[in-house]
Each structure stands twice: as C-alpha cells, then as structure tokens.
Amino acid sequence: MKLTNLNLAEILASSLSSISEIDTGIALSPEQFKFAIIKKMESHSLVNHLNPGHCVVLLKNNSIEFFIDFLALYFLGVTVIPLDESQHADDIERVVLFSRANLIIDSTGTHKRYTESQSELVGMAIVLFTSGTTGTPKGVLISKKALVLKLETLQQQISSAEIKNSLCFLPTFFGHGLICNSLFPLFYAENFYIAQKMTIEFAGNFSHFISDKNITFFSSVPGHWEFILGFSDEIKNDSLKRVHCASAPLKKEKIKHILSWLKLVSFYDVYGATEMLGWFACRKIESPTEDSVFDQFWNCEHKFSNERELLIKSPYMFSGYWREKVSTLDGFFETGDLFEAHKLVGRSKNIINKNGIKINTDELNSAYLRSNILVDVATFPIDDAYKGEDIGVFIVLKKDKTIEAFRKYCNDHLSILHYPSRIIPTESIPKNSRNKTSLALLKKIFMDIV
C-alpha cells in the first residue's frame, strides 16, 4: 500500500485496534487515539502557533501521550526532536539551544522557547540527536518523504501476520525504537503495546505477558536478553512469530540461550543506523554463530570502501546532519563499520556501543574536559557481558585535583549513559608509535592492567 501524508491518518484508524501502555494499563481504541491526535493538532496549531519550519523537543518517552504529540506534530508538518527525559538537564538544554526549539513538551507540560521558524526544517519529520549531546549536538535530519519510504520498506520485509501484535520496550528517542519498533507497528499492526523499558519486574512477567496478549513481534538489543534469560520463564504459547535483536553483535553463547528460549520463533540479527532510519539489513539466525554475515539488504545499495568500510545508499536515508556541510561520500552513508565478505569484523569510527547506544569517544572526551579537573583524557570501550561495551577512560589530573572530584563531576553533570565505568589515572595518555591515541591501544593497556 502506497503511503501519502493524507492516508497515513486513514491507515492509522484502519489497521490499528488498540494502543496500550503496559506500565499504566492505559489503552485506547483507534477512535480515541485519533480523536486525541486531532485535539492535540488543534492545540499546537491555534494555541502554540506551530507550523512547518518549527521544531518541538518531545520528552515523554515510551508513552501513549508521546505518540499522540508526535503524530499531531507530524501531521502539522512540525519537526519533532525526541529526547531522553532522564538525561541530564544540561544535555537537554544544549539540544534546545542548538535547535532553537519553539516548544518543549515534557511530563510537566509544554514550555515555549523560541519563536522563529527555520527553513531547513520544512519537510523534516524528525531530528534524532546522536551521542553528540555531550558536546556539540549532532542532529540526524529525517524527512517526511524518507520516513514514509522507510515504513513502506519495512512493510515489504515484515508480514502483517508477524507484526500483528507488537511490543516495544526500546526507547522512543532513538530510531530503532521510534521508527522500526513503534511507528511501523502503529501504522501496520493491529495491537501495539509500549513499555517504559526492560526491567527485572517486566522480565519476571515477560513470558506471561507474551502469552496473555498473543504478542507476535518485538525487537531488542543484546542487553535485554540478560534480563529475559535471567528472570523470565519460558514462553508458553506459539504467538511469537518474529524477534529482532539489533544495535550490537551477539556472542555465540548468548545466541544459543536465546534460540533455546525462543524455541521455533524466527530470530533475526538486524543491522541498522540512525542515518538509515533504523534497520536496513539482517540475517536470520538458526544456529549459534558469531559470524555476523548480513545477507539481506532492504531497498538499499551497498558497497565497500578500500578500507572495507560499509557504505550505504537508499531512498529512505537521512537528509544530512543539521548545520554540518558534508554528510555522505558521493551520496553513500559511511557506516563506520568494517566488513569482510559481508561479515562485520570491526569499527573504523571512535564509537562505544553501550547497550545498543552508540557514543562518540571524541564527544565524551570533550564532556570530561569541561570538568576543568583534567589536563588530558582518552576514552575507550571496555567489553561488558551485559551492556556489550562500557566506558573506560584514562585521565591526567590537574595539579591538586582528585579522581573523587572527577567522579563527583560526572555524577553531578552527566547522564548515567556517559558515566565512565573505569577511570585510570595516568601521567600521560598512552600513544602509539605514530604518537596517536588509538582505542585499540588504550583497550590493550587497560587489559594488561587488569
């Protein structure tokens, strides 16, 4: 079915039977949902005077209210900037200042900020900020056209039977949760269930919930499976049709336990990027193997650079980074991931993949230096069985400054996501033979220390 802006509203009412919040038990019929969206559109248009070219920071993560506001703004042509409500206020404010947001919507209400519209936002549905909130915010611009094409692509890959009763516990401030695991089922599923996040409590009831609601589909990141395998009983019925795991590679041993838990359910390792609006490749996992060979690419052209970096191009890709000049290489997005014969083997960019969230080490370094406690700093990834990777940091302290002062700064000013797991004080940052810092070298030195 071809989507246009107009019939998105029709599709919303026609396919959806219910939208439910797991944590509160609140559930809406499609008529109630559509009515709430229309009322919100009136409010945003007549009271808040929002129009195309305006943007709104939306903070009510993983709630029906979030989707009501999101869709109201979408249908008005206003750009939505979803952010993590639990992140530090300084980080949120940095994005508000950068984006010159006209409105901020959080759990306490709506708050007006700037009044002017920005021409570069006309036609943009969403701006997703990557880990850049720790330094200069980095906004991925997603056009309405790309979003519609993405949803159509997903519909071609995932059947209506598979998507019928969908569950999302991924955050709605990232592409994976917002576009792939929420907007896609909202437009194509019959029943959509949203949870705040995976917790021990939720995991304890997980298999019962799957059975009670006949859940057919959910997506996940590797860290979620620690909770599910650690606290959930085995699934009871055969409603589950398809499960995805994305954003970070899976260990063989973990795959073995997941397949055992899932029994005969189709399990896919999916590969995506914010810049590609989420998943664009996958491999079906039928046996425990760590060979991340992605053999299905969805409506996109791919090639490899001389350095084996995967380059991707698609009609549904992003429109660039906000206020940055060069975003692609001849129209191809540089993923930063290194491949050998379609097998993911490493990473070229300075990224730490913590629980499926990609954090740029340069931006972390900037954030830590802002403490005024350090002369020099270098962050690197530490392997973590639960998070995939966590943050390690070598620091050179200023005279009379202490590690405790640095920890306190991190605690007071940074989100838990950016808090370093291991802090190693040193006289000088380790460098390689070319006098450069490399993540691999830092990681090796750390492993030698521990």
Partner 1 sequence: MINTNELLELFNEIFKTNFPSLDIERNQVPEWDSMKHAELIIKIQKKFNFKFKVKDITYIKNLKEIKMLMEKSITPLS
Does position 411 bind partner 1 by CB under 8 A? yes
Using the rule CB under 8 A, which residue among 141, 410, 439, 442 binds partner 1?
Answer: 410
Which residue, 200 or 341, is less far from partner 1 as judged by CB? 200
Residue 328 has which token pair? 């692609």
Q: Cα 337 vs. chain centroid, distance in angstroms?
A: 17
Does position 18 bind partner 1 by CB under 8 A? no
Does position 134 bind partner 1 by CB under 8 A? no
Does position 199 bind partner 1 by CB under 8 A? yes
Select the span of 124-132, 198-206, 247-255, 366-374 touching partner 1 (CB under 8 A).
198-206
Which residue, 146 or 198, is less far from partner 1 as judged by CB? 198
Q: How far is the CB of 311 from partner 1 (least distance, A)?
A: 33
Does position 413 bind partner 1 by CB under 8 A? no
Using the rule CB under 8 A, which residue among 5, 112, 386, 447 binds partner 1?
Answer: 386
Which residue, 120 or 412, is less far from partner 1 as judged by CB? 412
Select the span of 25-33, 65-73, 385-393, 438-446 touching partner 1 (CB under 8 A).
385-393
Residue 251 has which token pair? 């260990």
49: left (phi over 0), alpha (psi -120 to 50) or beta: left
What Cα–Cα distance (Å) separates residue 373 from each residue in 286, 401, 425, 444? 50, 6, 12, 25
Q: Cα 430 vs. chain centroid, distance in angstroms?
A: 32
Using the rule CB under 8 A, which residue among 137, 177, 223, 278 binds partner 1?
Answer: 223
Does position 86 bind partner 1 by CB under 8 A? no
Task: Tell me whether strands 266-273 and 278-284 are parallel, antiparallel or unpaired.
Answer: antiparallel
Select the span of 209-217, 243-251, 329-337, 415-423 touching partner 1 (CB under 8 A).
415-423
Does position 416 bind partner 1 by CB under 8 A? yes
Of 81, 1, 67, 63, the C-alpha closest to 37 is 67
Using the rule CB under 8 A, which residue among 17, 214, 237, 421 binds partner 1?
Answer: 421
Torsion of CA 128, 38, 16, 60, to 10 degrees: 40
Using the rule CB under 8 A, which residue among 200, 264, 326, 449 binds partner 1?
Answer: 200
Q: How far is the CB of 197 from partner 1 (least distance, A)?
A: 8
Taking the C-alpha atoms of residue 21 and residue 27, their distance in angstroms, rounded to an integer, is: 6
Select the span of 129-137, 273-281, 317-325, 410-418 touching partner 1 (CB under 8 A).
410-418
Using the rule CB under 8 A, which residue among 130, 355, 360, 361 binds partner 1?
Answer: 355
- The residues binding partner 1 (CB under 8 A) are 197, 199-201, 203-205, 223, 226-227, 230-231, 355, 385-387, 407, 410-411, 416, 419, 421-422
